[in-house]
Amino acid sequence: MKAAQAQPVTAELRRWIVQQSQAGHGADLILKSMLTSGWTAEVAIAALQASMPGHADGSASAQALPPRVTVPEPSLEGSPLYLETGDRRVCVLQSVLQPRLHVFGNLLSDSECDALIALARPRLARSLTVQTTTGGEEINADRTSNGMFFQRGENELIKRLEARIARLLNWPLENGEGLQILHYRPGTEYKPHYDYFDPAEPGTPSILRRGGQRVATLIMYLGEPEKGGGTIFPEAQLEVAPKRGNAVFFAYDRAHPSTRTLHGGAPVLAGEKWIATKWLRERRFE
Ligand code: PD2
Ligand code: ZN
């Protein structure tokens, strides 16, 4: 099935839904399939309700979609070219509506990038990801970089950057996870994924006890490769160049693919890539 550009609830879409339902597929599965095909959540739910009167109360759709939450947002009313963050003037380079995404320039100075790399280098280990089946951590074949985490407020540089990020994104510093540093060598990558914790996984409730869901990601580029290594957003058909000092920010107001925040780190083809990632939670993260 292919999503239409303007996304009206077409007769073709309604026929397809009826066929799926007659084939015995439940409303949740049909909704998931429509979202995967690129329909927005609003259109998909309207089409379901119109085509499956038995589900017209929308309860299946409501169950399939986690609740919407407030997310960090930079102050971009009036489309300013620059944002003041207290100690640094950040450039607004590019914005996308779906996913909610902004590319920033001049977020970090060269010396801040160098200092983060120097502090992180001796502490690097093969990257782990949170294992949503149990809430623990595991080595992940989809992520071939090396990484480490700074504690929040660990040193003066980290404190300064955390305060800058909190001002830039209008989100409490206490809701941020510790800064993560990743180092990619040629051939390494981070396959496309969502950064929120999958509500369907059994380990997720225990992860969420610490600060709730992740609601946004800020990826800062510290060291640029010569070739490759962009941050890719396949659903938005967007690739952000890993330019030193720049950053890409994206927010997800529900833990669901309808946010179109699927993203990955493309393989580094030459040189080395260094990033710092700040994940932001709904609430205070301890
Ligand atoms: O290195 C990247 O570009 C990248 C891509 C996807 C980083 C992350 N995800 C992440 O840190 O979550
Ligand atoms: Zn990610």
Q: What are 125's strand-pairing partners?
A: 147
Note whether 232 and 190 are within 8 A (CB). Answer: no
Q: Which two tokens stand for residue 175?
A: 């809701």
pLDDT value of residue 275: 98
- The closest ligand to the CA of 240 turns out to be 1
Of the CATH numbers 2.20.28.120, 3.20.20.300, 3.10.690.10, 2.60.120.620, which one belongs to the domain with range 82-281? 2.60.120.620
130 CA distance to ligand 2 middle (Å)? 12
Nearest CA owner, ligand 1 atom 7:
265
pLDDT value of residue 170: 98
Neighbours of ion ligand 2 (CB under 5 A): 195
pLDDT value of residue 148: 96
Note whether 179 and 158 are within 8 A (CB). Answer: yes
183 lines ligand 1 (CB under 6 A): no
The pTM for the full model equals 0.80
**Residue extents of the structural domains in the chain:** 11-63, 82-281
Note whether 197 and 206 are within 8 A (CB). Answer: no
Q: Which of 190, 217, 272 to mutate to test the pocket of ligand 1 (most atoms within 8 A of CB)?
A: 190
pLDDT value of residue 285: 98
pLDDT value of residue 56: 42
pLDDT value of residue 139: 64
What region does 229 belong to: left with phi over 0, alpha with psi -120 to 50, or beta? left
pLDDT value of residue 2: 36
233 lines ligand 1 (CB under 6 A): no
pLDDT value of residue 5: 42
Q: Angle CA(109)–CA(180)–CA(188) in degrees, nearest 5?
A: 95
10 CA distance to ligand 1 middle (Å)? 37
263 lines ligand 1 (CB under 6 A): yes
pLDDT value of residue 186: 96
pLDDT value of residue 59: 46
219 lines ligand 1 (CB under 6 A): yes
pLDDT value of residue 254: 96
Q: Which two tokens stand for residue 128?
A: 């782990």
Number of H helices and number of E strands within the chain?
A: 7, 17
pLDDT value of residue 24: 65
pLDDT in tens, the chain (286 residues): 334 345 677 777 777 777 777 666 666 667 767 666 777 666 666 676 667 655 544 444 555 789 999 999 999 999 999 999 999 999 999 999 999 999 999 999 999 999 999 999 999 997 776 666 666 666 677 778 899 999 999 999 999 999 999 999 999 999 999 999 999 999 999 999 999 999 999 999 999 999 999 999 999 999 999 999 999 999 999 999 999 999 999 999 999 999 999 999 999 999 999 999 999 999 999 9
33 lines ligand 1 (CB under 6 A): no
pLDDT value of residue 61: 55
What is the per-residue DSSP string for 75-143? --TT--SEEE-SS-EEEEEEEETTTEEEEEESSS-HHHHHHHHHHHGGG-EE-EEE-TTTSSEEE-TTB
- What is the spatial distance between Cα 111 and Cα 160, in angstroms, rounded to a whole number? 13
Which atom, in ligand 1's list, is nearest to the CA of 192? 6
**Cα→Cα distances 218→3, 153, 250, 264, 265, Å:** 29, 17, 7, 13, 13
112 lines ligand 1 (CB under 6 A): no
